[in-house]
Amino acid sequence: MRHKLLDLFPFLLIGDLLLPFLLAPTYRGYHHFTQVMSALGNPKAPLHVLYNIWLVTLGMMILFCNFQLYPLIVEKSAPIAVMLFAVLCIYAAGACILSGFFPVGETKELKTISAKIHGYGSAFGFMFLLFAPLLTGLYFFKASHGFWGVFSLICFVFSVICFSLFVMADKPAFQGSVIALEGLWQRLSLLCMYLPLIALCITNQRPAAD
């Protein structure tokens, strides 16, 4: 039996990374390397409503996909299935749905209630998603997919590095250096978190090798 939502899941994750490149040309002064993706949802961005709708939609779709993914993971390991399920739920709720309903301002400063909800929700969501490559890697080893297990653990290491640089990016000591490119580090960390999930969906949509 094929899981239609899991067929869609990889495209949703890829779309999340690509959409900012489609919306950015309408927002004068926006720079992918130095600004976070959620800046496209601030009220001064011409297509902010579209981006915020996307975040809410993405979060809801991740939740739906999560319910189809769980029974596949639990066949190999119940603890991994429970933890990955929780990770994806928290990311979908905090970094996607809440962030879409409560957009951030032009900067990361938490001056308004909306910006504070967005900031904390997004922070918790990203921190939990950080463990998705690790959990996915453990699952792949349980399922005897050694290559994808190693691939996921490599993605986990790089996601930790990129996320750490993203957190450090707005610190005064690093201004003017490559570390200050928070938009770049955010995108790279997300890419490393998403890739194992994409592999997880793809490998679960075809029969296991003999």
Tokens for 131?
């463990």
Cα 206–Cα 144–Cα 205 angle in degrees, nearest 5: 15
User: For residue 210, is pLDDT > 70?
Assistant: no
Could you give the 3-state DSSP secondary structure of residue 45? Answer: coil
DSSP of 53-70: HHHHHHHHHHHHHHHHHH
User: For residue 125, is pLDDT > 80?
Assistant: yes
User: Which range is least confidently modeled, 6-15, 70-79, 127-136, 197-206?
Assistant: 197-206
User: For residue 118, is pLDDT > 60?
Assistant: yes
Length of the chain: 210
How does residue 207 score in pLDDT terms, banded at 50, 70 and 90? very low
The percentage of the chain sitting over the pLDDT mark of 70, rounded to a whole number, equals: 93
**In angstroms, what CA-CA distances link 8 with 3, 5, 18, 45, 93?**
9, 5, 15, 28, 19
**Predicted pLDDT at 106:** 65
